[in-house]
Structure 1
Amino acid sequence: MVSEFMAGSLASSCPEQGKAVLWRAIRYILPTARNLRRRLSHEAVSCPFCDFSDESPIHTLLRCSFARQVWALSGLRWYDIDSLAWSVEEWFQALTLKLSATDFSLVAMFCWTIWWSRNLKLANKPFLLPPQVVEFARNYLSAFNSQSSQHKFIRDGGRALGLGVLARDSKGVCLAWLSLKLDRGGTAEMAEGFAAREAISLALRRRWKQVILEGDSSTLLHKLGSTDMELSVISPLVADIHSLSSQFESVSFSLVSRVCNSVADLLARLALNQSGDSVWFPLGLAVALCGDLAT
Structure 2
Amino acid sequence: MPPPIGNIKANCDAALAGDSSRGGLGLVLRDHTGSVRKAISIPTRLSSVIQDELLAIHNVLTVALDEGFSHLQVESDSNTAVGYILKHHSNPPSDVIDIISDVQWLSASFTSITFSYVPRAMNFVVDALARKALPLVYETVWP
Please report the TM-score for the alignment, with normalisation by the length of structure 2.
Answer: 0.86
What code does the residue aligned with 1:194 have?
L
Runs of 4+ in 1 over 6 A off after TM superposition: none
- Within 5 Å, give how 1:144-293 maps onto structure 2: 148-159=5-16, 161-182=23-44, 184-226=45-87, 230-232=91-93, 233-281=95-143
Q: How many Å separate the matches in 2 of 1:228 and 1:162? A: 25
Residue 185 of structure 1, CA deviation: 2.9
Q: Which has the larger radius of gyration?
A: 1
8 Å CA contact retained: 2:86, 2:115: yes
Residue 150 of structure 1, CA deviation: 1.2
8 Å CA contact retained: 2:46, 2:52: no
**Unaligned regions of 5+ residues in structure 1, if any?**
1-147, 282-295
Residue 227 of structure 1, CA deviation: 7.4
SS of the residue corresponding to residue 149 of structure 1 reads coil
Relative to total residues, which structure has the larger helix share, 1 or 2?
1
Q: How many Å separate the matches in 2 of 1:162 and 1:178? A: 10
Q: How many Å separate the matches in 1 of 2:39 and 2:78? A: 19
* Cα 1:275/1:223, change in 2 over 3 Å: same
8 Å CA contact retained: 2:24, 2:132: yes
Residue 161 of structure 1, CA deviation: 1.3
8 Å CA contact retained: 2:23, 2:46: yes
SS of the residue corresponding to residue 61 of structure 2 reads helix
What code does the residue aligned with 1:172 have?
G
SS of the residue corresponding to residue 273 of structure 1 reads coil
SS of the residue corresponding to residue 158 of structure 1 reads strand
Q: How many Å separate the matches in 2 of 1:228 and 1:163? A: 23
Residue 274 of structure 1, CA deviation: 1.2
Q: How many Å separate the matches in 2 of 1:242 and 1:176? A: 22
* Cα 1:249/1:167, change in 2 over 3 Å: same
SS of the residue corresponding to residue 157 of structure 1 reads strand
Q: How many Å separate the matches in 2 of 1:240 and 1:206? A: 18
**Unaligned regions of 5+ residues in structure 2, if any?**
17-21
What code does the residue aligned with 1:177 have?
A
* Cα 1:270/1:226, change in 2 over 3 Å: same
What code does the residue aligned with 1:157 have?
A
Number of aligned residues: 133
Q: How many Å separate the matches in 1 of 2:62 and 2:46? A: 21
Higher alpha-carbon deviation: 219-228 or 172-181: 219-228
Deviation track 1:219-266 (CA, whole Å, cap 9, x = no partner) reads 111111117874522111111111111111011001111111001000
Relative to total residues, which structure has the larger strand share, 1 or 2?
2
- Within 5 Å, give how 1:28-43 maps onto structure 2: none
What code does the residue aligned with 1:203 have?
A
